[in-house]
Structures are given as structure tokens and as C-alpha cells.
Homo-oligomer: A and B are copies of this chain.
């Protein structure tokens, strides 16, 4: 099974759970994720309702197992059994009968996309409601409607988990995604699945220069909680951070840049996507929308970019019932995995190097160039010579890759050979 297929199966498994920013469905999700990587421990955290985190307060815990809306004839108009998205997230417990006109105030739909129904929530304002297609909404007949929501909203706790895989140094590469979205595939079964796949990949690396931290928490309030508890450590150790969301479809790749598009994470991901062979879309920070909003906020300043396939807010299925398991694919997930693995490898090998000879070295006598050249070897020889030409001790591999227009994964094996034969030395910083 490819990594993409494993990820897809994991998405399928966690898709039905009614996740929110708190609640048992989150805990069940973590249980499933943990079962896929038994040798790597998710360190779990529970944060009590009422806890102050940054400018916010952890809300009461919400759980709901049953919710439906009955029509005048007692028929089920919508039922949470069919899709968790039919229920407005964090709906208050309700059992009420109202005439259609009054009930309409609790019904959400999308007039522009009449065949799908929207994902709606109200975490911090007490509300209840249902979501349905506009087709269904416009055909509601007059009469009394019965809303039943068997939810609880009570003091409890917010759940998040993190994995730390140590490396040779305490410098950290940070990945995050979130666990608060119910029953949408790209946003967000794909992110947690990629976190699990990366944890497996990183744990299997023969050596690690960096320590790797992978965090899954509810969006916004979870990120704020994490920042509230860990900011000094993060500021000291995190060298690059990647927020992963909507990484399961197979349309494009996207980067949402950091505040000034100038962090190490921007450089790494931009370089990898530039040489990945397919196009990619770049968005400035004013198009942000996920947890990079917190990690890149003034004063927090974690060097984070956001990585997506189709970007949230942009793709038409976003935050609707159409963001289902048909939208994502093993190939889409595999592509995201490959890009992140390339980022990891790039960071593991990225250094500044200096040539040890004055003028060009004689490559021929060291067997570094073929005596007879072919088209195939030509590209590698060109990359080798250009790599040496810019190895003046001031450029890291990313910069050299940009200058000589060669992907870093072509350069890494060349660097290794040049180090072996003494033509290169690493520059201590």
C-alpha cells in the first residue's frame, strides 16, 4: 500500500466522527490516529473549560449524538445521522416546535450552491440550527417543525495532542494541523492523516539533524492554547513551521506565505514547490485563514507557512457537504506527503559550503565527470559545476538552487560526493 493509500484509508476512518473544538469525537479521533503509529507516542493534553489562553477562554465542552428536524407530517427533514454537517456546530440542546417562518431563522443554506449544504458553527455565541441544501429549503411546506438536538454543553476540557521525535539537536521543525472539523475530507481529515504519515516517515529516518514536533489541536483556540503554554520554547527552538490543511485533493499546490514571506519556512517550501514539476499557487499573508493566523501573529512570530493542495476559501467545495471522500484521493495525499518529505530532506542537508580549491577543480581526475558525455550526464555535470561555482561560503543550498536553477534533490548527492573527495567543506555558522 502506498503512503497515499494509507492516508486515504485513515481519512475514510475518521471522516464520520462529529469532531468540534472540544468533545469525545476529538478523543476518538486521536485514538484512531494513535493506532496507526503504535511506536510513536501522541502526548495528550486536556485543558479545562474556563482556562484563559492568550486573549481567549476555553469554552465549555460540547457533545452531541442525536439531532434532527421533523416536518409538519413528522417526516425527518434532516438528520445528523446522514451527515454531521446538518447540525450547526456547538448547537445548544433544543427540543422545540416552531412554525416554518420562525424555524427558518435556524436554518442555513447556500443559495449560490443550491445542491450542497454548508458547514456552520457558533462556538462563542449561543445558537442552535440546521444546515440543508437550498433545494430542500425552498421546498419546505408551511406548518410546524420540530427541532430536536440532544447535545450537552458543559464544563469539560479541550483536547490536543503532540508528537516529539528527537534529533541530533534541539532545533525543531514544527508541523501542525487540526482536529476540529467534522465530516469534511479535505478540510480536515487530510491534515491529521498527513501528520500521522510524516510522523512515521520521520521516525524511520536513519538520522535526524533536527527534532520534529507534530501538533494536532482544534483550530484557533487550540493553536492559542498551544502558544500560551509553549511560546518561549517555540521561540527558542522552532526553525521552520508548516501548517497543513486541505492537503488531500489533486488539483494544485498552494503556499500561504508568512507575514513578510521571509521566514526559513517560506524559503524551504517555495524552493521545493518551484522544482516539483507542477505549478503552484502563492498567496500572501493577507489571504491567511488557518492557524498561521496565530503562529505568525505579531509577538508570536513562529516562522510558519501554510501548505495546501487547493487552498481553503478558494475551492468551491470548501466548508460544504461536497468536501467529501470523493474530493480527496490517494494520489492527492501522496503528493502532499512527497512535498513535505522533500522539505524535510532539504532542511536536513541545507548548509553553506565552500570549495577548497582556487579556481575550478579538475573534475576529470577525480572521476566526477564522465570522459564521454551524454545528454543525461550533461545535466548533472552542469549542476555540479554550477554548484561549485557558487560554493563561496555565503550561500546555503536553497540559495544555490535558486541561483543555478537546479532542484535541491539533484544537489544533495553532489554535495555528498564533493565532501567525500575533499573539494567541499561545510561552513560553520
Taking A286-B405, A403-B286 as contacts, is the C-beta distance between A299 and B358 under 8 angstroms? yes
Q: Beta-carbon contacts of A388-428 to B below 8 Å, as 1s and 0s? A: 11111100000000011100000000000000000000000
Q: Tell me, in angstroms, the Cα distance from A388 to B299 when the chains sit together.
A: 11
Residue of B nearest to A393 (CB): B298
Partner among B228, B288, B386, B391 whose Cβ is within 8 Å of the Cβ of A298 = B391
Q: Does A143 contact B (CB under 8 A)?
A: no
Interface string of A330-368 (1 = CB under 8 A from B): 000000000000000000000000110111111011000
Given A124-B365, A286-B404, A371-B125, the answer on whether A359 and B224 have CB atoms closer than 8 Å is yes
How many Å from the CB of A423 to the closest CB on chain B? 8
In the bound complex, residues from chain B placing their C-beta under 8 Å from that of A55 are 357-362
Copies of this chain present in the complex amount to 3
Contact A359:B223 (CB < 8 A) given known A124-B364, A286-B404, A365-B124: yes
A361: chain B residues within 8 A (beta carbon): 55
Docked-complex contact A389 and B298, CB < 8 angstroms: yes
Q: Report how far A285 CA is from B387 CA in the complex, Å.
A: 12
- Give Cα A4–Cα B386 distance, bound, in whole angstroms: 36
A297's partner among B220, B285, B355, B403 (CB-CB below 8 A) is B355
A359's contact among B294, B358, B404, by CB below 8 Å, is which? B294
For A298, the chain B residues whose CB sits under 8 A away are 354-355, 388-393
Contact A125 B364 (CB under 8 A): yes
Using Cβ atoms and an 8 Å threshold, which residues of chain B touch A288? 389
Chain B minimum-CB-distance residue to A53: B359
Smallest Cβ-Cβ distance to A363: which chain B residue: B55
A86 part of interface (Cβ distance < 8 Å): no
The 8 A-B residue pairs whose C-beta atoms are closest, nearest first, are A298-B392, A55-B357, A294-B359, A54-B359, A55-B361, A54-B358, A224-B359, A297-B359
